[in-house]
Structure 1
């Protein structure tokens, strides 16, 4: 699946500093191992979002389940208008692993959702609810969720691990309706990818 690159310079530096992006296979392998954690289940996207917002108020732009060495954690990106906050939440215990602040140095192609007067923040469904909708729709495993604009409306793009590959589910940030589903199977060419569009306008 071709994933759009939407990361600003500050967020890119944060990813490099943290140690890079790891595939879902690494995270699943860590989830199945009990040698480095006494708990077997991750806390989930909703609780990770709640814990991050308790540490830094703002609009959650993305949540990603990641792994560095033997540590599995959620990276929650929070937009506070003039700066972006990265909050790391340990995936098994829910403890904070740190909060990092970056100035908003995005180029003009990027935009801040908190300044979008057409969609009030408090009217959005939230990243965790969008993730739950996508997981329930495809019975997949959560990888990442991002807030983005698609054809003039704000949507949550939820990436999932599904049987045989991955999928991207776009969920309308206000109505909670599924906008589209794009499935990418490991043994298929790009031309054979399934793209299920939902017209909810």
Structure 2
């Protein structure tokens, strides 16, 4: 008789716990939370992270709009917006995907032909080819979401617009020669994680060098040298 009562009590206790846990619901995925925030507030989502605040799972979303940068707290289960405060740009660390990650995302839509970061719109512009057609994808740098996908005429993707720079190609050439005495064999612009740089190739009698120069400040980021192969 006593053992039967104990079994009933245990069933009631554990059953009530399961009911409580089930009533709390499961946590929304980050992508779902981003869609909820975007639907309510126009702007660019800089970051979203799951936190434990006030003993509850809450999402902390940083949103940049024309009015400023805001921190938005949301219930991670229901998606309800709980709080929203304006903050200073300097206090926000922007999370973002790399160029390689953007290319990986785009590769699901075709073979990647080119990729570059559009600093003004803060998106990666990636051209892919699929079934004989060329598509232009814009990928949100902060979230990795594809903002748009449009077919373009063949050839348009081969010559993307060059980003504006403060350092000219000739100035980059001279900066590189100040680092390595030799002959410049190639200069091209590239995007390294959102930073536009000049890649300058310089040859000497015995070595081949690559000088990476910030295209805005003129600062030399790196110099790598390799010994030429002797025939």
**TM interval, short-chain normalised:** 0.3 to 0.5
Which protein, 1 or 2, shows the higher relative CO under an 8 Å CA cutoff with sep ≥ 6?
Answer: 1
With normalisation by structure 2, the TM-score equals: 0.34
State the TM-score, normalized to the length of structure 1: 0.38
Instruction: Point out the structure with max Rg over C-alpha.
Output: 2
